[in-house]
Chain A
Amino acid sequence: MSPAELALKKQDFVSDQEVRWCPGCGDYAILAAVQKLVPTLGIPKENFAFISGIGCSSRFPYYMNTYGFHTIHGRAPSVATGLKVSRPELSVWVVTGDGDALSIGGNHFIHAMRRNVDINVLLFNNRIYGLTKGQYSPTSEVGKKTKSTPYGSLDYPINSLTLALASEATFIARSYDVNTPHLIEVLKKAHEHKGVSFVEIYQNCNIFNDGAFKHLTDRTIRDDKILSLEHGKPMIFGKESNQGIVIRNNTPEVVTLGENGITEKDIEVHDEFGENPAITYMLTEMDHPKFPVPVGVFRKVEKPTYEHLFEKQVETVTQQKGKGNLEKLIHGSDTWEVK
C-alpha cells in the first residue's frame, strides 16, 4: 500500500506510555526519528513489530504504538528471528544496546547477522552501561574509569561494525542520534534492504558517559571529524571539503586535496555494493582521533534471505511429497493387525 493511501502520521506511532528516559538522553532523538520514518514506509501500522532486549534502549518498544516485545537480556535477535521466520510479511525491528547486543547477546548477534533474516537491528551504542548505573561496556575505550573499573578498564573494546562484517551481514551502516535527517535516511535504507540490516547508532548518555561522541556533535569541529559515506562518491570530508581518504599499501590515509599533488581522482570512491569486504573492513576500523568517523551505509550486498529460503523449502517439500496426511503419518510404514 502506498504511504498516501495509509495516511499515517508520526502521531499514530506514539504510544500512550510516558517516555521515561533521562532528560537529555540521545534515545529521545532516535525514537523521534523512527516515529517520523515509519509512517512514510507504506506499511500498515499493525505490521510493525519492535523487539528489544534489556537496557535503556530496550524500553523503546513501549513507546512505539505498534506490536512490541520487550524480551530478555541479549536475546531479542532470537525472538525477532522466530517472529520473522513464522510471519515473513511483518516488518521486524530489533532495538538493542552495546551491552545487550555485544556482551550478553554476542552469540545471538553474530548468528542473526550470518543468517540474513530480513530484520533491522538498531544498536544504540553509548559505550556505557546506563540502566545498571554506569559500568563500562564492551565498546568503552581502554582505561575507562567507571564504578566497576575505578582504576580504569583493561579490556579492548569490540567494534560492532567489524563484528557484523565478519559475520557476513549484508547491510551495515552507522548513524548518530542528533543528526535526524541522516539517521532517517540510513534507517530508510536499512528498511529497504532485503536481508539483515545492521545499524549502529552512536547515542549520547548524558548521565554516565556524556560527550562520548562530542567530536561528532560539536559544531566547531564536527565537519573535520565526520566522513559521510555516499555510494559512488569520493571519501571527502572537512569543513573546507578538502580532506580525503586514500588507500595505500592496504592502509587508509588522510590526505589534503591540493597538497603533494593530491587531486579528487586520487581519493577512494565509496562502493557500498563492493563484494570485497577488505575495504569495508578498513572503513569500520577507522576511528577518532586518527581518522574521521565514517557514517552512512558501509556495505549493502544481496543474498537470499533466510525466511525466503525457509518458506521455499517448505513449499518444495510440500510439492514433492504432497500436503501431509496426518492419518498416514501416524500410521507409519510398518504396521500389523491384531484381530
Chain B
Amino acid sequence: MSNAGLQSDAKKIQSSNPIPLEQLEHVTIRFAGDSGDGMQLTGNQFTNTSAFIGNDVSTFPDFPAEIRAPAGSLPGVSGFQIHFSSKDIRTAGDTPNVLVAMNPAALKVHLKDLEKGGMVIINSSAFTKPNLKKAGYETNPLEDKSLDSYRVFDIPLTKLNEDALSETSLSKKEIDRCKNFFALGIMYWLYDRPLEITLDWIEKKFKNKPEIIDANQKALKSGYYFGETSEIFTTHYHVDQAQLPQGTYRQVTGNRAIALGLVAGAQLAGKPLFYGSYPITPASDILHELSNYKNFDVRTFQAEDEIAAIGVALGASFGGHLGVTGTSGPGVALKAEFMGLAVMTELPLVIVNVMRAGPSTGMPTKTEQTDLFQALYGRNGECPMVVLAPSTPSDCFTISIEAMRIATKYMVPVIILSDNTLANGAEPWKIPHVDEFPKFEVNHLVEANNFLPYQRNEKTLARPWVAPGTKGLEHRIGGIEKQDLTGNVSYDPQNHEKMIRLRAEKVQRVAQEIAPLEISGPEKGDTLLVGWGSTYGAIASAADQLREEGLSVSNIHIRHLSPLPSDLGDIMKRFKNVIIAECNTGQLRQVIRGTYLVDAKGINKIQGQPLKISEIKSKVKEMI
C-alpha cells in the first residue's frame, strides 16, 4: 500500500465534510484508560497510521506493572503518549495537548500533565458513582466545574459503541472490548487520519474470527462518522507530512531494534546467536522477539534464573557462538559474578540491561538511568567492562551490532545500557540496507605451533578465540588469576598486577573504535550540555531551542561510557559551563568529574519519567 493513495482517500472524506480543517505543526495526545481498555493497542494504531501518512512520530507508553489492577482503580491506569509532527521531532512531547480519558481514574492520574486549555475527550459513560469513588473523586468532575480551564468533550463512548454494535451477535462484554476502536475512530477523524491501516490490522489480527473483525471495524468506522456528524467538534485538524530524509521507513521500538541488531550482528559475524534470558520487565520483549527468529541461526534459551541465563550464554561463547544475555537492573545484580568470569576468561559476550527505576524491585515499568555505576563498577575486583548506551530506539539497532563487533574483536564482554523509554518508545526508522554495514570477521584460531591461550593481538590485546573441538589447542580457562600468555593458574604478585592492567588496557583500547563526538552548536562557547542514553531527544531539542533563543549552548551525546571517547576531555575544556543532564542523581557527572577534573553541574530527575525539554531549558537558564 502506498501512503499517497491513503492521503488521497483521506482528502476525499475531507472534501465531503463541512467542518473546517485546521493545520497544526505537531500534536501530543495521551490515551489513558484501564489496563484492560486496550490503550497501548490504541496508541500503537494511532502511531502506525501517523507514521504511515508521513508524520514524524515519537511515543512513550506508560503502563502499570500489574497486568490487571482492579478495574477503575488508580494503579490500573495505563497510558500511551504520542507526539506526531510535520517537523523533525526527537521526543514523545513534554506536555500533552489532548487527553483521552476512558474512565475517572485515567482522568485523575493524567489531567495534571495536560497543557492548560488542552483538550480532554472523556468517556462519560464510565463516570458512574462507583467509578468516581474508585478514582477518589468526591464530586463528578464533569459537573463540578473543576475542568473549566480545559476544553472538555464528554462523549458517552461505551453507550455509543454499544448502540453501534447492537446488531452483532457478540456478548455485551465482547462489544465493550471494541470501545477503544470507537475512541480511536473519533481521534482519526479529529486528526484527519485514514482508517485503512487499522482496518487492515484488525483483519490480520483477528483472522478466522469474522464477527470480531466486523465488530472492531464497525466500532472504528462508527467512531469516525460520529466525529464527523455529531457536531460536537467545531474544527478538526491536519498535521502535514514531515520532511524526513528520503527512504523506506518503518516504526521501531528500542527492544525490537536490539533484537534486530543482535540478529544482524550475528549474521555480519557469520556466527550463530545464542540468547540466554530470564523474563524480566522491561527486557522480556527482546526474548520474545528473538525466539521467533530460529530460521536466522538464532537460538534462544529461557533459563531457570538470571544467573543461569548468563551462564548458558557464556557457555555458548566458550563454544564459539555469540552469547548474549538480556535483562534489567535486578538481573544484572545477579549476573555480576558471571560478568567477572567473562572478563577474566576474556570471552566475547553481550549483556543488555534495559534499565528501569530502582533500587531493588523499584518501579519495574518506569524509566531511569540509574544503573550506570552498576555497569561501570558493579563487580568484585578490578573488573572494567565496555559499556555502550544507545540514544534513540533506532540507535539500539546500530549499537547492538557495534557491541558484537567490539566483543568479538577485543574478546571482551560488552554491556548495552538501554532503558524503558527506549525499549517501549517508538520512532520512525529509516531502514538501513544490510550491505551498508561492514562485515566483521570473526576468526577462531584453528592451529598454532606454540599455542598460548593468553597471547594477545598487538593492536587490540585480544586473546585468541579457540572453540572446543579444535585439535591440538586443548586448554583450560577459569576464574582464577591467569598467568600471562599461558593462562595457567597463577598467584604471582607481579603477574596479577600485570593482568589487572592488561585487562583494563584492553577496555581502554576500544576507544580507538569510537568516532569523534558530534558537537551540535558552536565548537566552543559558554555552555556544553552533555547527555547519554535515552535523554538524547530532550537534550538535543532543548539545546536547539536555547540556541534559537540566542544562547551559546552546544550539546554532545555520549554513546560510549566505557571507555569514554578520547576527544571528550578536550571538548569539555572549550566551554565555560559543562552541564550533564541524566535521569539519576548524577552518575555520569561523578565519572566525568573524577576522570577529567571538570567542574560539571547536573540536571537530574529521578521520578521514573523521562526528562522534558522544558525542564532542561529552564534548568540550563537557571544555571548559566
Contact = CB atoms under 8 A, between A and B. Distances in A.
Interface of A: 15, 17, 44-49, 51, 61-62, 64-73, 75, 77-87, 89-90, 107-108, 111, 310, 313-314, 317-318, 320-324, 326-327, 329-332, 334-339
Listed residue (A46, A71, A77, A82) with the most chain B CB atoms within 10 angstroms of its CB: A82
A283 to B, nearest CB: 27
B311 A107 contact: no
A212 B320 CA distance: 42
Contacts of A17: 476, 488-489
B163 interface: no
A84 B321 CA distance: 11
Nearest to B267: A326
B454 interface: no
Contacts of B434: 326-327, 330
Given A111-B304, A331-B250, 13 more contacts: A47-B469, A62-B489, A66-B474, A72-B341, A82-B316, A87-B321, A87-B468, A89-B469, A108-B307, A334-B197, A334-B250, A336-B54, A337-B249
Nearest to A91: B468
B431 A335 contact: yes
Contacts of B188: none
B301 A336 contact: no
Contacts of B294: 313-314, 317-318
Interface stretch (B26-34, B106-114, B240-248, B492-500): B240-248
A10 B476 CA distance: 18
A70 B480 contact: yes
Contacts of A75: 307-308, 311, 337-338
Nearest to A311: B299
Contact of A336 (B3, B304, B307, B471): B3
A71 B301 CA distance: 19
**Interface size bucket, B side?**
35 or more
Given A46-B468, A87-B319, A324 B296 contact: yes
B614 to A, nearest CB: 29
B85 to A, nearest CB: 14
A329 B259 CA distance: 11
A221 to B, nearest CB: 40
16 contacts: A17-B489, A45-B471, A68-B477, A70-B477, A71-B341, A72-B337, A75-B308, A78-B312, A82-B313, A86-B299, A86-B320, A87-B467, A111-B303, A326-B296, A327-B433, A332-B431
A97 to B, nearest CB: 15
A67 B263 contact: no
A323 B298 CA distance: 11
A86 B318 CA distance: 10
Contact of A46 (B52, B267, B473): B473
A338 B293 contact: no
A164 to B, nearest CB: 16
B348 interface: no
A337 B249 CA distance: 6
Contact of B315 (A64, A78, A324): A78
B314 A62 contact: no
Contact of A314 (B299, B337, B468): B299
A117 to B, nearest CB: 10
Nearest to B259: A329
A15 B476 contact: yes
A79 B293 CA distance: 23
Contacts of B303: 78, 111
Contacts of A67: 468-469, 474-476
A337 B4 CA distance: 9
A324 B295 contact: yes
B277 to A, nearest CB: 12
A47 B296 contact: no
A79 B295 contact: no
A324 B490 CA distance: 46
Among the interface residues B246, B312, B320, which one has the most CB atoms of the partner chain A within 10 A? B312
Interface pairs A-B: 7 shortest CB-CB? A82-B315, A78-B311, A70-B478, A82-B312, A324-B296, A68-B476, A67-B468
A336 B51 contact: yes
Contact of A83 (B244, B296, B304, B318): B318
Interface string B419-452: 0000000000011111000000000000000000
Contacts of B479: 70-72
A79 B250 contact: no
B413 interface: no
A326 B308 contact: no
Given A330-B432, A334-B52, A82 B469 contact: no
Contacts of A64: 476
Contacts of A327: 433-434
B454 to A, nearest CB: 15
Contacts of A70: 476-480
Contact of A82 (B245, B267, B274, B477): B274
A332 B250 contact: yes
Nearest to A313: B294
Contacts of A69: 315, 318, 345, 476-478
B468 A78 contact: no
A49 B319 CA distance: 10
Interface in B289-331: 293-297, 299, 301, 303-305, 307-321, 323
Contacts of A332: 250, 431
Contact of A61 (B315, B317, B476): B476
B472 interface: yes
Contacts of B471: 44-46
Contacts of A322: 295
Contacts of A82: 274, 276, 301, 311-319, 323
Contacts of A108: 304, 307-308, 311
B146 interface: no
B470 interface: yes
Interface in B17-54: 48, 51-54
B82 interface: no
A46 B474 contact: yes
A44 B472 CA distance: 10
A78 B244 CA distance: 47
B492 to A, nearest CB: 15
